[in-house]
Amino acid sequence: MIEPHGGKLINRIVSEQEKKRLKDKIFVMKSIKLNRRQVSDLEMIAIGAFSPLEGFMGKNDYENVLHNMRLSNNLVWPIPITLAVDKDQVKRFEIGEDISLLDEFGKVVGILHLKEVYSYDKELEAEKIYRTKDEKHPGVKAVYSQGDTLLGGEVTLLEKPKHIEFNKYYLTPQETRNIFKERGWKTVVGFQTRNPIHRAHEYIQKCALEIYDGLFLHPIVGETKSDDIPAEIRMRCYEVLIENYYPKERVVLSINPAYMRYAGPREAIFHAIVRKNYGCTHFIVGRDHAGVGNYYGPYDAQKIFLEFKPEELGIIPLFFENAFYCKKCSSMATLKTCPHSKEEWIFLSGTKVREMLQGEEIPPLEFTRPEVAKILIEGIKQKRVDYNI
């Protein structure tokens, strides 16, 4: 089986014995209240999804990632995983002490073993990671709105989050690796989308299944943009599609609790590394993977993989064009396989699909399965009820 990034799958979840030892100490520790994204990062570090990270980055790793897309030990790593706080909070802390980490409800979820406190340049991070300083970019906006000081140090997670709404699909990297091993899969293709699955996705996934042993569907359920389809609806779409159109014994569906950063090319590398930690040998990279707006050029998310030697990443990217239905071919196709003109293609924009669904109009069969369209329409109707729209 493929090795985790850095050679070791990290586990920073506290043992029951250690939890008992910490029980009395936790409530006298100084504390930091985390936002949802920070809690998500804490979880992803602790379960090994962000291996080899064992905590929030220190200054050397942070600066190397910004400028070189590598950790200070030269291991490829494209996205900073940091804990930002306000300057006023920092005055209370001392290097070497343990700090309890609270979720948005005030519950203690983990511990930071504080090793470093350092300042950083928000605009520089925005420019390096997102290729723009425009605060309209959701990733840049998140950086600008967070604290001015970064805390570095190893973390301890007190217990895995429940993820009640997706409980049966919550699998850690160790658990997915065990499943792949039990099924005898030597090659596993990872696929991610923050959008509802449609026929183009299905076509790409099944092309991969023709060649490799198994398919790992791993949609992000951490926070995305406000106009993205909610995670619970996207998961129901996956369920109905697998039930009716996929060989179930060759597919594993699991949630990815991470947050989208919309960092385009850098995030494509990041997503590949995360799936490597979950046990994937291959990862599907779309034309505009993790993109938003017009901040990244066509195929930038694929081109960036050429900046690294294959052995540095360890996971093999699979590059796909945007797929569409060609009326003349009478099948799904891409620019690589279809010789016909655009007039023959059924290729709907996300905006057009949303308009059709809001009007309770089922998109054409060539674009989406009717079972999926029904779930999306019901989801939009329920959203109107919930928000009195």
Rounded CA-CA distance 335/281 in Å is 26
Cβ-defined contacts of 246-249 (< 8 Å, 24+): 246/215, 247/209, 249/183
Q: Which two tokens stand for residue 285?
A: 């990279």
SS3 labels along the chain: CCCCCCCCCCCCECCHHHHHHHHHHHCCCCEEECCHHHHHHHHHHHCCCCCCCCEECCHHHHHHHHHHCECCCCCECCCCCCEEECHHHHCCCCCCCEEEEECCCCCEEEEEEEEEEEECCHHHHHHHHHCCCCCCCHHHHHHHHCCCEEEEEEEEECCCCCCHHHHHHCCCHHHHHHHHHHCCCCCEEEECCCCCCCHHHHHHHHHHHCCCCEEEECCECCCCCCCCCCHHHHHHHHHHHHHHHCCHHHEEECCECCCCCCCCHHHHHHHHHHHHHHCCCEEEECCCCCCCCCCCCCCHHHHHHHHCCHHHHCCEEEECCCCEEECCCCEEECCCCCCCCHHHEECCCHHHHHHHHHCCCCCCCCCCCHHHHHHHHHHHHHHHHHCCC
Rounded CA-CA distance 377/233 in Å is 10
Active-site residues, by number, are 194-195
| Residues found in the chain | 389
Rounded CA-CA distance 246/335 in Å is 25
